[in-house]
C-alpha cells in the first residue's frame, strides 16, 4: 500500500514511524515532514520520503494524490482538518483517515463544543458563550472574576487566557472581543469557570458508530518545571498515569464518550478519526475542558510505542466502520516523552541551530527520538521550530522509562536547548513503585 501522512511535527514522525512498521506499506510519504520522517525505514523495505508540500496546501496535496494515488492518507494537524482536507480527498475518491470538516468542528469551534456538551450531558465546566463584551463581563463577575477566557476558533494553541481575578478577566475580554487579538477566531469567546484538578488526556478512536479508548496519558502544558510559566503545545508526556486504575480509567472515559457518541449520532455527525477530550479530574468526577479532533502532540509519541496492532489496519477500520472488530492491544510498558525545545519557546525562537548527539542516541535500546521542528541543512540536522525533538523511551516501570528518556536527552544538545526536568514526576510521586 502507498501511504501519505500530512503534517510535520513530532506527532507525525511518530505516526510515520509506526505506520512504517506495517508489512503492508510499500511507499510512505510525509507532507511536508521533518528531518526525522525523511528516511524512516519501512518494514517492507525502502524508506519514508518527505514531499515539500505544506499541510494546509490543499491544492498541492490533491495534485500529489492524483499523481501518486495513495491507498491511504492520514491527517495529523487540526489546521488541515479545519480546512476540509478529508472532504476534499473523499470527493475525489482517495481514502483518507480523519474527521470531515463538519466533525472536526469539535476542535475548531469551542462555542459549538460547549453547546454540544450542554445538550448531551457531557460533564464540563460551568460556562457561557459571548460575542457581546458587556454580557461576557457580567458572566465573568458571576464566576467571581477567576475564570478562563477562550477564543472560539483556532488560535495556534494560544487562544486561552487564564484570568486569576476580575481585572485579568476584564483585560482578556477586552483583548479578545474588542481588540480582536485573534481576528475572527475571537469574534466569539467561551468563558469557563476555572477548574482545579489533575489534567489528563483522553484519546479514543472512532469509526462513526463505535469508539475504542486508548490508555491514559498526561501532558505537561507549562513551559517550566513545577508547572510554572506560560502554556505551550506540550513539553512532555507519559503513559499510563498511575492516578487511576485501568477500570477507573475506562469508567471515566465512558462517562465522557458514551454521551459524546450518542450526541454525534443524534446530530448526524459522522466522526471517523480520533477524538481527544482534554479532561480535568476533580473531586466531583471528570470535567471536559475542550475537544480536539486529532492525536495529541506529544501524546502520540507515548501511545504508539505501546500499541501492538498494525496501525494501518486500525485506520482502515475507522474509515470502514469496523473498529469494533479490531480490539486495540497494548504492550504492558510505560512510556515517557521529554520535549527538547528552542530558547524562547513558546514565544519567538531562533532557528538553524545545529543539533548534536543524534547519532550517539540512535543505537540506544528502548529509546526513539521523534523529530518535530527539525530540518536538514548542509548534511546537518538543524532546528526549525519551537518544539524540536521528543525523546521517548519505554520500559517495564515508569521510573525506568523516565531514566532512559533523560539519559538520552542528556546526550543531545543544540544552542539554547531547554526542557523540563520533571516529566512524569507527578505520576512517580503518586506511585513510586510503578
Distance, in Å, from the CA atom of 178 to the CA atom of 215, rounded to the nearest integer, reads: 41
Distance, in Å, from the CA atom of 231 to the CA atom of 126, rounded to the nearest integer, reads: 22
Quick note: the x/- pattern for ligand AMP over 377-406, rule CB under 6 A, is ------------------------------
Distance, in Å, from the CA atom of 18 to the CA atom of 281, rounded to the nearest integer, reads: 30
Binding region for ligand GLY (CB under 6 A): 219, 233-234, 292, 296-297, 299
Strand, coil or helix: what is 271?
Answer: coil
Q: Which of residues 232-251 bind ligand AMP (CB under 6 A)?
A: none
Least separation, in Å, of the C-beta of 153 and ligand AMP?
12
Which helix H or strand E contains 315, and what residues bound it? Answer: helix 311-320
Least separation, in Å, of the C-beta of 289 and ligand AMP?
4
Partner from ligand AMP, ligand GLY, none binding residue 40, C-beta < 5-8 Å depending on class: none
DSSP lists the bridge partners of residue 55 as: none
Least separation, in Å, of the C-beta of 130 and ligand AMP?
15
Is 290 a residue that touches ligand AMP (CB under 6 A)? yes
Least separation, in Å, of the C-beta of 43 and ligand AMP?
36
Is 195 a residue that touches ligand AMP (CB under 6 A)? yes
Stretch that binds ligand AMP, among 130-138, 187-195, 323-331, 349-357 (CB under 6 A): 187-195
Partner from ligand AMP, ligand GLY, none binding residue 195, C-beta < 5-8 Å depending on class: ligand AMP
Distance, in Å, from the CA atom of 390 to the CA atom of 111, rounded to the nearest integer, reads: 32
Least separation, in Å, of the C-beta of 93 and ligand AMP?
35
Phi, psi of 386 (to 5 degrees): -75, -60
Nearest Cα to Cα of residue 275 among 285, 255, 289, 261: 261
Distance, in Å, from the CA atom of 255 to the CA atom of 253, rounded to the nearest integer, reads: 5
Partner from ligand AMP, ligand GLY, none binding residue 234, C-beta < 5-8 Å depending on class: ligand GLY
Partner from ligand GLY, ligand AMP, none binding residue 297, C-beta < 5-8 Å depending on class: ligand GLY
Q: Which of residues 124-153 bind ligand AMP (CB under 6 A)?
A: 125, 148, 150
Instruction: Please tell me the count of residues contacting ligand AMP according to CB under 6 A.
Output: 13
**Which residue do the cell numbers 536527552 mark?**
409
Is 115 a residue that touches ligand AMP (CB under 6 A)? no
DSSP lists the bridge partners of residue 213 as: 204
**Of the residues 278, 285, 357, 416, which one makes contact with ligand AMP according to CB under 6 A:** 278
Distance, in Å, from the CA atom of 92 to the CA atom of 84, rounded to the nearest integer, reads: 13
Partner from ligand GLY, ligand AMP, none binding residue 373, C-beta < 5-8 Å depending on class: none
Distance, in Å, from the CA atom of 396 to the CA atom of 152, rounded to the nearest integer, reads: 41
Q: In 184-284, which ranges are E strands?
A: 189-193, 198-201, 204-207, 211-213, 218-219, 222-224, 228-231, 236-239, 272-282
Is 221 a residue that touches ligand AMP (CB under 6 A)? yes
Nearer to ligand AMP, 220 or 353 (CB): 220
Is 218 a residue that touches ligand AMP (CB under 6 A)? no
Is 194 a residue that touches ligand AMP (CB under 6 A)? yes
**Of the residues 160, 214, 253, 304, which one makes contact with ligand AMP according to CB under 6 A:** 160
Q: Which parts of this chain interact with ligand AMP (CB under 6 A)?
A: 125, 148, 150, 160, 192, 194-195, 199, 221, 231, 278, 289-290
Amino acid at each position: 500500500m502507498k501511504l501519505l501522512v500530512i503534517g510535520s511535527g513530532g506527532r507525525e514522525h511518530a505516526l510515520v514511524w509506526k505506520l512504517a512498521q506495517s508489512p503492508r506499506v510499500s511507499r510512505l510519504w510525509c507532507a511536508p515532514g521533518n528531518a526525522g520522517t525523511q528516511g524512516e525505514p519501512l518494514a517492507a523495505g525502502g524508506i519514508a520520503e518527505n514531499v515539500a508540500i505544506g499541510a494546509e496546501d490543499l491544492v498541492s496535496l490533491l495534485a500529489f494524490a492524483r499523481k501518486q494515488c495513495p491507498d491511504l492518507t492520514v491527517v495529523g494537524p487540526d489546521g488541515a482538518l479545519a480546512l476540509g482536507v478529508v472532504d476534499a480527498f473523499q470527493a475525489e475518491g482517495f481514502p483518507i483517515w480523519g474527521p470531515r470538516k463538519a466533525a472536526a468542528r469539535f476542535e475548531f469551534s469551542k462555542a459549538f463544543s460547549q453547546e454540544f456538551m450542554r445538550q448531551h450531558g457531557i460533564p464540563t465546566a460551568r460556562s457561557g458563550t459571548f460575542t457581546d463584551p458587556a454580557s461576557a463581563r457580567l458572566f465573568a463577575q458571576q464566576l467571581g472574576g477567576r475564570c478562563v477566557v477562550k477564543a472560539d476558533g483556532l488560535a495556534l494553541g494560544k487562544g486561552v487566557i487564564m484570568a486569576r481575578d476580575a481585572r485579568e478577566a476584564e483585560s482578556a475580554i477586552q483583548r479578545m472581543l474588542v481588540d480582536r487579538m485573534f481576528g475572527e477566531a475571537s469574534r466569539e469567546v467561551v468563558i469557563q469557570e476555572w477548574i482545579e484538578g489533575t489534567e489528563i488526556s483522553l484519546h479514543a478512536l472512532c469509526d462513526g458508530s463505535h469508539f475504542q479508548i486508548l490508555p491514559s496519558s498526561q501532558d505537561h502544558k507549562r513551559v517550566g518545571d513545577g508547572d510554572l510559566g506560560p502554556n505551550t503545545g506540550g513539553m512532555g508526556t507519559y503513559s499510563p498515569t498511575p492516578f487511576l486504575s485501568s477500570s477507573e480509567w475506562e469508567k471515566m472515559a465512558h462517562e465522557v464518550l458514551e454521551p459524546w457518541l450518542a450526541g454525534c449520532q443524534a446530530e448526524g455527525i459522522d466522526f471517523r478519526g480520533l477524538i481527544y477530550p482534554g479532561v480535568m479530574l476533580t473531586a466531583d468526577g471528570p470535567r471536559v475542558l475542550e475537544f480536539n479532533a486529532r492525536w495529541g502532540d506529544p501524546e502520540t509519541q507515548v501511545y504508539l510505542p505501546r500499541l501492538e496492532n498494525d496501525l494501518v489496519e486500525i485506520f482502515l477500520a475507522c474509515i470502514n466502520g469496523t473498529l469494533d472488530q479490531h480490539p486495540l492491544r497494548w504492550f504492558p510498558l510505560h512510556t515517557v516523552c521529554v520535549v527538547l525545545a528552542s530558547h524562547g519557546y513558546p514565544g519567538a525562537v531562533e532557528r538553524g541551530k545545529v543539533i548534536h548527539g543524534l547519532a550517539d542516541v540512535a543505537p540506544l535500546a528502548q529509546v526513539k527520538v521523534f523529530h518535530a521542528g527539525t530540518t536538514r541543512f548542509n548534511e546537518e540536522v538543524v532546528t526549525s521550530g519551537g518544539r524540536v525533538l521528543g525523546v521517548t523511551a519505554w520500559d517495564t516501570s515508569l521510573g525506568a522509562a523516565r531514566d532512559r528518556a533523560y539519559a538520552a536527552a542528556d546526550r543531545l544538545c543544540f544552542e539554547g536547548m531547554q526542557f523540563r526536568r520533571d516529566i512524569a514526576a507527578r505520576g512517580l510521586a503518586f506511585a513510586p513503585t510503578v
